[in-house]
Amino acid sequence: MRAIHHYEELGLIEPAGRSKGHYRLFDVETPVRIRWISKLQSLGLSLGEIRALVRTRQAEPSALQAAGQLRSMYEEKLVEVRSRLAELKALERELQASLAYLDACGTSCAAELGPTDCAQCDRHAEEEHSDLISGALV
Protein backbone atom coordinates (compact mmCIF):
# COMPACT_ATOMS: atom_id res chain seq x y z
CA MET A 1 0.00 0.00 0.00
CA ARG A 2 1.46 3.32 -1.11
CA ALA A 3 0.17 5.23 1.93
CA ILE A 4 2.09 2.97 4.31
CA HIS A 5 5.33 3.64 2.44
CA HIS A 6 4.59 7.36 2.50
CA TYR A 7 3.80 7.32 6.23
CA GLU A 8 7.06 5.50 6.82
CA GLU A 9 9.00 8.05 4.74
CA LEU A 10 7.46 10.83 6.85
CA GLY A 11 8.37 9.07 10.08
CA LEU A 12 4.75 8.57 11.09
CA ILE A 13 5.14 4.80 11.36
CA GLU A 14 8.17 2.59 11.64
CA PRO A 15 8.55 -1.08 10.80
CA ALA A 16 9.38 -3.30 13.76
CA GLY A 17 11.78 -5.22 11.56
CA ARG A 18 12.15 -7.11 8.30
CA SER A 19 11.25 -10.60 7.28
CA LYS A 20 13.73 -13.04 5.73
CA GLY A 21 12.37 -11.89 2.37
CA HIS A 22 13.10 -8.26 3.35
CA TYR A 23 9.45 -7.32 3.73
CA ARG A 24 8.67 -4.72 6.35
CA LEU A 25 7.15 -6.09 9.52
CA PHE A 26 4.93 -3.84 11.60
CA ASP A 27 3.77 -4.35 15.15
CA VAL A 28 0.13 -4.75 16.16
CA GLU A 29 -0.15 -1.03 17.03
CA THR A 30 0.60 0.14 13.49
CA PRO A 31 -3.03 -0.19 12.28
CA VAL A 32 -4.08 1.94 15.27
CA ARG A 33 -1.57 4.62 14.23
CA ILE A 34 -2.75 4.46 10.62
CA ARG A 35 -6.39 4.94 11.69
CA TRP A 36 -5.31 7.87 13.89
CA ILE A 37 -3.52 9.48 10.94
CA SER A 38 -6.60 8.98 8.77
CA LYS A 39 -8.87 10.58 11.37
CA LEU A 40 -6.52 13.55 11.74
CA GLN A 41 -6.60 13.98 7.97
CA SER A 42 -10.41 13.88 8.13
CA LEU A 43 -10.17 16.72 10.65
CA GLY A 44 -8.26 18.74 8.07
CA LEU A 45 -4.65 18.17 9.09
CA SER A 46 -2.09 17.67 6.35
CA LEU A 47 0.49 14.91 6.63
CA GLY A 48 3.10 17.59 7.29
CA GLU A 49 1.04 18.92 10.18
CA ILE A 50 0.58 15.40 11.52
CA ARG A 51 4.32 14.81 11.28
CA ALA A 52 4.93 18.06 13.20
CA LEU A 53 2.39 16.96 15.81
CA VAL A 54 4.13 13.61 16.25
CA ARG A 55 7.54 15.27 16.54
CA THR A 56 6.26 17.87 18.99
CA ARG A 57 4.64 15.18 21.15
CA GLN A 58 7.85 13.14 21.14
CA ALA A 59 9.86 16.21 22.16
CA GLU A 60 7.64 17.03 25.15
CA PRO A 61 9.48 16.41 28.44
CA SER A 62 6.56 14.54 30.01
CA ALA A 63 3.50 12.50 29.12
CA LEU A 64 1.39 15.09 30.93
CA GLN A 65 2.65 17.91 28.71
CA ALA A 66 2.27 15.75 25.58
CA ALA A 67 -1.32 14.96 26.55
CA GLY A 68 -2.01 18.64 27.24
CA GLN A 69 -0.69 19.62 23.84
CA LEU A 70 -2.83 16.95 22.15
CA ARG A 71 -5.88 17.98 24.20
CA SER A 72 -5.46 21.59 23.12
CA MET A 73 -5.37 20.61 19.45
CA TYR A 74 -8.41 18.33 19.89
CA GLU A 75 -10.35 21.16 21.57
CA GLU A 76 -9.64 23.42 18.57
CA LYS A 77 -10.75 20.71 16.17
CA LEU A 78 -13.93 20.10 18.18
CA VAL A 79 -14.87 23.77 17.80
CA GLU A 80 -14.21 23.52 14.04
CA VAL A 81 -16.24 20.30 13.71
CA ARG A 82 -19.17 21.77 15.63
CA SER A 83 -19.08 24.86 13.42
CA ARG A 84 -18.99 22.69 10.29
CA LEU A 85 -21.89 20.60 11.63
CA ALA A 86 -23.94 23.77 12.14
CA GLU A 87 -23.13 24.81 8.56
CA LEU A 88 -24.14 21.38 7.28
CA LYS A 89 -27.40 21.45 9.27
CA ALA A 90 -28.24 24.85 7.75
CA LEU A 91 -27.42 23.50 4.31
CA GLU A 92 -29.61 20.46 5.00
CA ARG A 93 -32.54 22.74 5.86
CA GLU A 94 -31.93 24.78 2.71
CA LEU A 95 -31.83 21.64 0.59
CA GLN A 96 -35.10 20.42 2.13
CA ALA A 97 -36.76 23.79 1.44
CA SER A 98 -35.40 23.76 -2.12
CA LEU A 99 -36.74 20.27 -2.72
CA ALA A 100 -40.15 21.31 -1.41
CA TYR A 101 -40.05 24.30 -3.77
CA LEU A 102 -39.11 22.07 -6.70
CA ASP A 103 -41.79 19.53 -5.77
CA ALA A 104 -44.37 22.29 -6.17
CA CYS A 105 -42.94 23.00 -9.62
CA GLY A 106 -43.56 19.40 -10.57
CA THR A 107 -47.26 19.71 -9.84
CA SER A 108 -48.00 23.12 -11.34
CA CYS A 109 -45.45 23.95 -14.02
CA ALA A 110 -46.50 23.89 -17.67
CA ALA A 111 -44.33 21.65 -19.80
CA GLU A 112 -44.10 24.25 -22.58
CA LEU A 113 -42.35 26.81 -20.37
CA GLY A 114 -38.59 27.16 -20.75
CA PRO A 115 -36.08 27.22 -17.89
CA THR A 116 -35.74 31.00 -18.12
CA ASP A 117 -39.48 31.37 -17.41
CA CYS A 118 -39.01 30.06 -13.84
CA ALA A 119 -38.07 33.49 -12.52
CA GLN A 120 -41.49 34.85 -13.62
CA CYS A 121 -43.47 31.96 -12.15
CA ASP A 122 -46.36 33.18 -10.03
CA ARG A 123 -46.65 29.84 -8.20
CA HIS A 124 -43.85 30.83 -5.81
CA ALA A 125 -44.11 34.62 -5.95
CA GLU A 126 -44.89 35.02 -2.24
CA GLU A 127 -42.29 32.56 -1.00
CA GLU A 128 -38.78 33.54 -0.02
CA HIS A 129 -36.33 31.61 -2.18
CA SER A 130 -33.23 29.96 -0.81
CA ASP A 131 -29.92 30.72 -2.48
CA LEU A 132 -30.03 27.25 -4.00
CA ILE A 133 -33.22 28.21 -5.83
CA SER A 134 -32.52 31.92 -6.42
CA GLY A 135 -29.10 31.19 -7.86
CA ALA A 136 -30.57 28.70 -10.32
CA LEU A 137 -33.18 31.20 -11.48
CA VAL A 138 -30.75 33.93 -12.43
Give the fold, CATH level 3, of 1-59: Multidrug-efflux Transporter Regulator; Chain: A; Domain 2 (1.10.1660)
Q: In whole angstroms, give the CA distance from residue 69 to residue 71.
A: 5
Q: pLDDT at position 27, please?
A: 94
Model confidence over 28-51: pLDDT tens digits? 999 999 999 999 999 999 999 999
Q: Is the pLDDT score of 78 beyond 90? A: yes
pTM of the model: 0.74
Q: Is the pLDDT score of 114 beyond 80? A: no
Q: In the chain, which residues fall in CATH 1.10.1660.10?
A: 1-59
Average pLDDT of the residues in 58-67: 94
Max mean pLDDT among 4-13, 102-111, 116-125 falls in: 4-13
Closest among 15, 19, 20, 17 to 4, alpha carbons compared: 15
Q: Is the pLDDT score of 134 beyond 90? A: no
Q: In whole angstroms, give the CA distance from residue 8 to residue 18.
A: 14
Contacts of range 53-57, beta carbons closer than 8 Å, 24 or more positions apart: 54/11, 54/12, 55/11
| SS3 of residue 60 by DSSP | coil
